[in-house]
Chain A
Amino acid sequence: MKIKKVTALVLASVMALSLTACGGNKNETSEGGEAKESKGVIELKFPTYLAGENVGATFFLPEIERFNEKYEGKYKITVEEVPQASYADKIKQLAQQNKLPVLVHAPGSGGIDTQWFKQIVLANDMAYDLTEFAEENPDVAANWIPESREFCTVDGKLICKPTSVLKPVGLYYNSSMYTPDKDIRDMTVDEFVDSLGDNKIAFMTAENGWTTALMLTALIANEEGGVELLNSSVNDKLWDYSAPAFVNGVAKLQTILQNNASSNTVGAAYADAANAFMSKNAAVICNGSWMAPEFEEGSADKWSNGFNGEDVKATIYPGNIAFANPSSYGEFWIANTATDEEKEAAEAFLAFRDSQEEIEELVLTEGGVAPQLTYSDNFLAELKKTPLLYELSESMNDETTYCASLGDVFPASVADTEFGKLLPKLIDNTLTPEEFCDELTKKAEEAKQ
């Protein structure tokens, strides 16, 4: 077995090489060593995708640390980092084996789709009822958004922890290229398109077509009956795209795509759309509050072609529309299979996560609004330091219509791939708006059970 010997030798040498190259800064993680000896500590381990390089990690991992610090000697949470792409797969397989982790991300996040949650988890009573938890922690429950709480209540059981924070999605524009004569929010769609002139919008067709889907949502929402169509489809998803509001929206999108799309639109993935905006090849991009840090000085190395983050302004869509979906499954649920101790620890974490301080911290890091909360002065002072987030939250007034975005109402495979895949054919006129909607309906039909 010379080969084996040789391979082992080579491996050893490569390993030694990489050890010397990057040794030193590794803190040896000794697993399972310490915590177990101190009696009474309830340990919790669960996989999450809010880790590694995921945008969510910036807030979530420190939060876990703060929790462990606060409950030192009582509870200890360890998270296992799972790439977002495989999180849902893993959970589905674990559910099949009846080995779910104690805390699981709610459907609508981390690739866990609503359909699976209803059909498998709810139908087999795998989610722990949090009603009692809500009663025991009235101050926490008071922070929850009522619509979300209602949505999470199925057959009288509270099966997910509702959300306390809404993250409205608006748009950004570069004021050095495009200066609307009034706030975009107060325009009609036509006024908005006129005001753009030759300015481009950073669209995409690859991946899930995210930025394009947002614009289409705004166009549909501005049509007669559009908002109702979208908002009423959250629960059962939208399977038929032949409604006039939808078709008219697509028709307008086609015109915009043909006249005002950044040059790299066809085939653009999220990276390409973001780069079109940050290299002044597009004056407008539709995106959520999490993009705001990209326009701060610290991200200057991503800017090019004279782009300056200070020029970026945030606002919401024409017709005073912002996207937010309060009717959602919230953030986490607890598996019924967990032991009482584990449930206790998990509930402690959920209560901790929805305390005033943590919610404010979350909003400051990731943006959003917590409608049930009376913000502390400290928070308001901090918020002003992040002008874009402040602008965005200021741009919404009492008349703002909140509307679910297409991402919330498309069935999983339509949202993930089919929508983006059809867009090039809409752009090059292979498909008329009607045909586009027909094709999309067909794709949704295929996804149906």
Chain B
Amino acid sequence: MEKMKKKIIKIFMYTVMIFTIIVSVFPIIWVIMSAFKTNAQILSSPFSLPTSIKFDAFVYIFEKYNFVQYFINSALICVVSTAASLVIFAMGGYVIAKFRFPGKSLIFALFTITLLVPAQSKAQPLFSLVMKLNLYDNIWGVTLVYLSMGLAMSMFILKSTFMAIPKSLDEAATLDGAGFFTIFWKINFPLAKSGLATAGILMFLNNWNEYFYASLLTSSDKNRTLPLALQFFTESFSYDYTKLFAALTIVVLPGILLYVCAQEQVQASVAASGVKG
């Protein structure tokens, strides 16, 4: 009986996992596969494997565009904005999670409602701010705007992460004579690694895929980010399925590659902290 139950649970668990895997990657594999088929093949036999692997569409795109530059821009903007905002939000989340002070609920409520401001309504004030700072068509202008994006979500995650770190550790450190900053930086910050990683990944990905502000705040080729460059393809290859699928593939791949690499590292670093998992 007990064995039976275990087996059923196991089957259930694996069914869910396999389902998750299928809905997550199957659409993408299908798109990538289609990028190597001709228009006729795409229309007549959507399941068939491509008969030959041709990189024509990809070669064309890479020859025409300065993808390395776009990649560097995107990476630079996202790394800097994510790292900076992670530290800033960690500081905020930490005090909200661990201390009582006047105005706490109000401040947290204010941070929370930023989640509700429609993205389109922010366009105009942010544009004029960037103009005033003379950062139009400059990757640091975009970085600055990205800095603000993950406020609410990161606060949530980091607050609950810091809440889960036992207060006894802080008290012990206080008795040892550690100051406020030391307790945060040396004890809480390292222990919050998995929460920081979660918030960091989410913010990084949001910025990595952000299109609207990047297009609004830059104009020259040398400041272009990846999503911006990719917009050119998705809007204009539109009558040729093969090229459209190739374009989609190119849109999708850099993010996935980056994630596959970073995923291993981030998980490793979380595991290496030795406290969690």
Which A residues are within 8 Å of any B CB, using their own CB?
Answer: 1-4, 6-11, 13-15, 18-19, 22-23, 25-26, 29, 31, 45, 47, 52-55, 80-86, 89-90, 93, 96-97, 99, 269-271, 274-275, 278-279, 294, 301-305
Residues of A within 8 A of B12 (CB): none
Q: A4-B83, A8-B79 are in contact. Are A18 and B67 (CB under 8 A)?
A: yes
Q: A80-B221, A86-B231 are in contact. Are A279 and B40 (CB under 8 A)?
A: yes
Q: How far is the CB of A423 from chain B (nearest CB, A)?
A: 19
Q: A4-B83, A304-B38 are in contact. Are A23 and B239 (CB under 8 A)?
A: no
A6 touches B216 (CB 8 A): no
Q: A23-B68, A52-B236 are in contact. Are A304 and B44 (CB under 8 A)?
A: yes
CA distance A45 to B43 in the complex (A): 43
A53 touches B235 (CB 8 A): yes
Residues of A within 8 A of B265 (CB): 6-7, 9-10
B219 touches A302 (CB 8 A): no
Which of B17-25, B95-103, B123-131, B176-184 forms part of the interface with chain A? B123-131
Which of B110-118, B148-156, B162-170, B256-264 forms part of the interface with chain A? B256-264
Pick from B39, B83, B193, B231: contact of A83, CB below 8 A. Answer: B231
Q: Mark interface residues in B119-162 (1 if CB within 8 Å of A CB, else 0).
A: 00001100110010000100000000000000000000000000
A26 touches B66 (CB 8 A): yes
Give the nearest-CB partner of B56 in chain A: A301
B236 touches A10 (CB 8 A): no
Instruction: Indicate whether B93 reaches chain A with its CB closer than 8 angstroms.
Output: no
Residues of A within 8 A of B2 (CB): none
Q: How far is the CB of A333 from chain B (nearest CB, A)?
A: 18
Q: A23-B68, A25-B62, A301-B242 are in contact. Are A80 and B124 (CB under 8 A)?
A: no
Residues of A within 8 A of B239 (CB): 270-271, 274-275, 294, 302
Residues of B within 8 A of A26 (CB): 66, 68
Residues of A within 8 A of B235 (CB): 53-54, 83-85
Residues of B within 8 A of A85 (CB): 215, 231, 235
Which B229-254 residues sit within 8 Å CB-CB of chain A?
231-233, 235-242, 244
CA distance A7 to B263 in the complex (A): 10
Q: How far is the CB of B50 from chain A (nearest CB, A)?
A: 14
Instruction: Indicate whether B196 reaches chain A with its CB closer than 8 angstroms.
Output: yes
B219 touches A15 (CB 8 A): no
Residues of B within 8 A of A301 (CB): 38-39, 242
Which B residues are within 8 Å of any A CB, using their own CB?
Answer: 38-40, 43-44, 62-63, 66-68, 71-72, 75, 79, 83, 123-124, 127-128, 131, 136, 193, 196-197, 200, 204, 212, 215-216, 219-222, 228, 231-233, 235-242, 244, 257-258, 261-262, 265-266, 268-269, 272
- Identify the 5 closest CB pairs spanning chains A and B, nearest first: A304-B40, A53-B236, A52-B232, A86-B215, A274-B239
B220 touches A89 (CB 8 A): no
A10 touches B233 (CB 8 A): no
Residues of A within 8 A of B193 (CB): 2-3
B236 touches A90 (CB 8 A): no
Q: How far is the CB of A140 from chain B (nearest CB, A)?
A: 29
Give the nearest-CB partner of B263 in chain A: A10
Q: A13-B261, A26-B68, A53-B233 are in contact. Are A3 and B62 (CB under 8 A)?
A: no
Residues of B within 8 A of A271 (CB): 238-241, 244
Q: How far is the CB of A51 from chain B (nearest CB, A)?
A: 8
Give the nearest-CB partner of B272 in chain A: A2
B236 touches A14 (CB 8 A): no
From A53, A96, A271, A304, residue with most partner B Cβ within 10 Å:
A53
B215 touches A90 (CB 8 A): yes
CA distance A25 to B262 in the complex (A): 28
Pick from A7, A15, A45, A83: contact of B215, CB below 8 A. Answer: A83
B219 touches A80 (CB 8 A): yes
B238 touches A15 (CB 8 A): no
